[in-house]
Chain A
Amino acid sequence: MRVLSRAELGAWLDALAVEKALLAPTEVESVVLYRPVQSSAEIAPLQGNASRPVLSIKEAFFPPTERLLLIGKTTGPGNGTGGQFRLRETLPEGEQIVFGVRPCDARGMRALDALFLHTQPADPYYARRRENTTLIGLACAEMGPSCFCKSVGGGPDDPADVDLMLTETDKGYVVQTVTEKGRTLLAGLELREIEGEMPRSALNEPVPIPDMLAWPPHFQDAFWEQSSERCLSCRICAYVCPTCRCFAVRDEALPSSQGEECYERIRCWDSCAGDAYRRIAGGHNPRPEKGQRLRNRYFCKFYYYPQQYGPVACTGCGRCIEACPVNIDITEILAHLVTG
C-alpha cells in the first residue's frame, strides 16, 4: 500500500490548487459544499465519516445555470434591415480537480455520462468539463444513517468511478491509482510504501431494491397519490441528487449596447417535482397532480432511465432523504415496490 501522510496530502493539494482550479468540501455557514479553494486549510474536516456535502459533485459538470450561446445581431446596410443573427457557442474553459469525492457521487457520473456523453449527440459543455476534470475520491469509513450505496451497486469504498482513491488509515491516506488521469496527477509525488491491510468500510443493512419488472404493475397504484399528499412540490430532491439532470433552456436579454451580443441562451436545473415542469405551449399540463409527479421521479430513476440509457439513476447517497422537509423517503418507496 502506498500512503500519504496528512501533512503531505495538505502540501500536495496546496500545490495542485496553484496549477488548477481545486474544488473541495468547504463549510459555508454550517453547510458543507464543494467550493473552489486556494489552499487545503479551507477544506472542511475529512476524518472518519464527515458528513457529505449537501450538493453532489454534479454541479461541477452540470452547473445550476450555464450559458450555452451568445446571440448577436448585425444590422444591415441603410435603414438597418436585413441584418443577420450570429450565434457564438461558449464552451467552458480550464481544468479542474475535485477533491473529497464520495464514491456515491462518483458513481452518479456514470448515470450522467450515459445521457450527456454516450447518447448521441454528446453534450459539448458537459463533455468539455468531464474531459478537463480529475476526481480525487475519498472512501467513507462507514455508511451514514441514510446511505444505501451498497444496495444499488456501489459501495462506501468503491474506487471504480474516480481517478484516484484515498482511504484514511492511522498511517495516513492510502492512495489507489485508478485511471491514467489519476496517475498524471500523482506525477512527482513521493508515496511511502507500507505493509498492512486495506481498511474495510462498515456497511449498513441493505435496502431492498425492486426488480425492474416490479415497476409497471405499480403505475396505477393509489400509493403515489397517498405518498404525494404531503409533498410540497419543491425541487430539493432533484437538486441535491447526484443523477437528476433535467434542465430548462431559455434565451434571455443581456445588458449590452447595440451591435454587441444582446441575448444569451442559458440552461438551468429543473425538476419534475415542480408543478410547471411538463406544462406545454398553450398551457396544457399533462402531469398536473402531485402523485403523477412523484411517480415519475421514481419510475425515472429505476425504470425509464435504465431502459433508455442503461444505469439506474440512484446511487444511494441518501441526500434526498435528509433534505426532504416532509419525510418523503426513497427507501420507503422502494420497500413498497418490493412488498407490493
Chain B
Amino acid sequence: MTHAAAIRGKARELLQTGQVECVLGYETGSRGRVRPAFIYRPEEVERLVWNQACTHNLTTYLPAKLRPTKPGQTPRHVAVVVKACDSRAINVLLAENQFTRDQVHVIGVVCDGIVEGAGFERIPESGAAPPPALQRRCQRCDDRVPLVYDTRIGEPPAEHPLAENLPGDAELDRLEAMTPAERAGFWLAQFDRCLRCYACRQACPMCNCPTCLYERDDSLWVGMGIGSSEKRTFHLGRAYHLAGRCIGCDECERVCPMNIPISLLNRKLAKEIELAFGYRAGLAPVPGPLVTVLESGEVKP
C-alpha cells in the first residue's frame, strides 16, 4: 500500500468513527502544486496525497483549529499528517499548553525528505531523471521517523543514517567564520529586502502569539515603518523568541518571497542553545519550555 493510500484509509476511519472533526493533510492543488488540505468528510479523503513535495508544516494550523469556538465547548479533535520535523513542533506546542495530546491524532509519515521547489512547482514524478534535489534541511536531517504519532505510515529505515555521515551546515560555518562587523553587514543586507509581509511569522507553528509584539497598534518599541531598523528589530526579536523553540522546519525561509535566509538565524540560536543547555527543541513532549521549567519546590503559577 502506498503512503497516500494508508493516509486516506486512516483519515476515512477517523472521520467515519467521529474521532476527529477534520484531517489536516496534503492535496494536489492548481498547477500540480502540493498544498495543505482540510478534510471534513470521509468521501473527501481521496484528495489526500503523499509525496516528496509535502513541505508545509501543518502543525501551524493546529492551535486555531483546536481552540474552542465558544465558551464551554467540549474539546475539539483533529488529525494531522506530520513528517519527523513537524512532529517536533507538536511536542513544543504540547509543552506550551496550546492543546492537549488527546485532541490530536498524529498521522506520522516516515519521510524520505522533501525536494526543492516543493509547494511552488509541479510535483516531481517519482523516478524522474535527474531526481530533484532534496531541500538543504532534509539533507542535514537525521530524523526520518516522527517522534510522536498515533498512526505511523511507512516502515522505519533498517539503517538509521548516522549523524556523522550527514553533511554539515556550510552556511552556518560561513556565518560563524565572519567577524561581528561582517555578520552585522551580512544580516542588514539580507533584512534590507524584507517587506514585513509576515509570511515567515504566519507560516511558523511557534509564532502563535495572539498579538505579535511587532504589530501592536500601541507599540512604542517597533514602529510601523518598513525601514531598516524596524526590519532588523523584527527579525532579531523573532529569532530570540524562537530560541529553544524552533524545530527547524524552515518553512519561514521557504515562504519568504525575498529569499532571506531566515532559518540561518534560527539554526545559529538552536546551536547556541544546544551548546549551553544540551537542549534541542521538540525532542520530547515532557520538558516545558527551556527557560520556564519549574524545578521541584518552585510553585506553579
Interface residues of A (CB under 8 A from B): 28-31, 33, 54-55, 64-65, 145-146, 226, 229-230, 232-236, 239-240, 248, 250, 252-253, 266, 268-269, 271, 274, 276, 279, 321-323, 325-327, 329, 331-332
| Closest residue of B by beta carbon distance from A267 | B224
**Taking the nearest CB of chain B, how far is it from the CB of A222, in angstroms?**
11
A98 to B223, CA, bound (A): 30
A325-B225 contact given A229-B38, A276-B215, CB 8 Å threshold: no
- A269-B195, A327-B35 given; A240·B30 CB < 8 A: no
Judged by a CB distance under 8 angstroms, whether B300 is at the interface is no
Q: A29-B190, A30-B259, A31-B259 are in contact. Are A269 and B226 (CB under 8 A)?
A: yes
**Structural contact, B224 and A326, CB atoms closer than 8 A:** no
A29→B193 contact, CB < 8 A: yes
Can you list 28 A-B contacts with CB-CB less than 8 angstroms, sorted by A residue number?
A: A30-B259, A31-B257, A31-B259, A33-B193, A55-B195, A64-B195, A64-B226, A226-B38, A229-B61, A230-B36, A230-B37, A232-B255, A239-B197, A240-B257, A252-B224, A266-B223, A266-B225, A268-B225, A269-B195, A322-B120, A325-B56, A326-B56, A327-B30, A327-B34, A327-B119, A329-B30, A329-B31, A332-B29
Nearest-Cβ distance from residue A49 to partner chain B, whole angstroms = 17
- How far in angstroms is the closest Cβ of chain B from A266? 6
User: Which chain A residue shows the least CB distance to B32?
Assistant: A327
Expressed in whole angstroms, the minimum distance between the Cβ of A226 and any Cβ of chain B is: 8
Complex Cα distance, B197 from A235, in Å, reads 5
Residues of the A chain whose Cβ atoms lie less than 8 Å from the Cβ of B29 = 327, 329, 332
Interface status of B184 (Cβ within 8 A of chain A): no
Greatest chain B CB density within 10 A among A65, A234, A250, A332 is at: A234
Q: Which residue of A lies closest to B225 (CB)?
A: A65
In the bound complex, do residue B254 and residue A31 qualify as a contact, i.e. CB atoms below 8 Å apart? no
Given A234-B199, A274-B198, do A65 and B257 touch, yes or no (CB 8 Å)?
Answer: no
Residues of B within 8 A of A145 (CB): 31
In the bound complex, what is the Cα–Cα distance between A325 and B30 (angstroms)? 13
Give the Cβ gap from A235 to chain B, nearest Cβ, in Å.
Answer: 4
The verdict on A325 contacting B258 (CB below 8 Å), with A234-B198, A239-B195, A276-B215 known, is no
**Are B197 and A236 in contact, CB atoms less than 8 angstroms apart?**
yes
| Complex interface: chain A residues within 8 A of B226 (CB) | 64-65, 268-269
Contact between B224 and A266, CB atoms less than 8 A apart:
yes
* Contacts A236-B199, A269-B195, A329-B31 given; does A252 touch B223 at CB 8 Å: yes
Q: Which of A31, A33, A234, A329 contacts B197 (CB 8 A)?
A: A234
Interface contacts (Cβ under 8 Å), in number, total: 106
5 additional A-B residue pairs with CB within 8 Å, beyond A31-B257, A327-B34: A65-B225, A230-B35, A268-B225, A329-B29, A329-B31
In the bound complex, CA of A323 to CA of B225 (Å): 23
**C-alpha gap A145/B33 in the complex (Å):** 13
Chain B residue with minimal CB distance to A232? B202
Q: Which of B33, B257, B258 has the most chain A CB atoms closer than 10 A to its own CB?
A: B257
Give a binary string over B159-202; 1 marks a CB under 8 Å from any A CB, 0 the rest: 00000000000000000000000000000001001011111011
Tell me, in angstroms, the Cα distance from A326 to B201 when the chains sit together.
Answer: 14
Query: What residues make up the interface of B, taking CB atoms closer than 8 Å to A?
Result: 29-31, 33-38, 56, 60-61, 119-120, 190, 193, 195-199, 201-203, 215, 217, 220, 223-227, 251, 254-255, 257-259
B223 pairs with A235, CB closer than 8 A = no
Q: Is A28 a contact of B193 with CB atoms below 8 Å?
A: yes
- Complexed CA–CA distance, A325 and B251 (Å): 9
A235 near B193 with CB under 8 A, answer: no
On whether the beta carbons of B224 and A234 are closer than 8 Å, the reply is no
For B203, list chain A residues within 8 Å (CB): 232, 234, 325
Interface centre among A239, A323, A325 (most CB of B within 10 A): A325
Query: Is there an interface contact between A332 and B255, defined as CB atoms closer than 8 Å?
Result: no
Chain A residue at minimum C-beta to C-beta distance from B33: A327
Cα A55 to Cα B190 in complex, Å, equals 16
Q: Which residues of A contact B120 (CB under 8 A)?
A: 322, 325
A118 to chain B minimum Cβ distance, whole angstroms, is 27
A54: contacting residue among B31, B202, B258, CB under 8 A: B258
Q: Tell me if B193 and A325 are in contact (CB < 8 A).
A: no
A325 adjacent to B254 (CB under 8 Å) = yes
Across the A-B interface, the 4 shortest Cβ-Cβ residue pairs: A327-B35, A325-B255, A234-B199, A232-B202
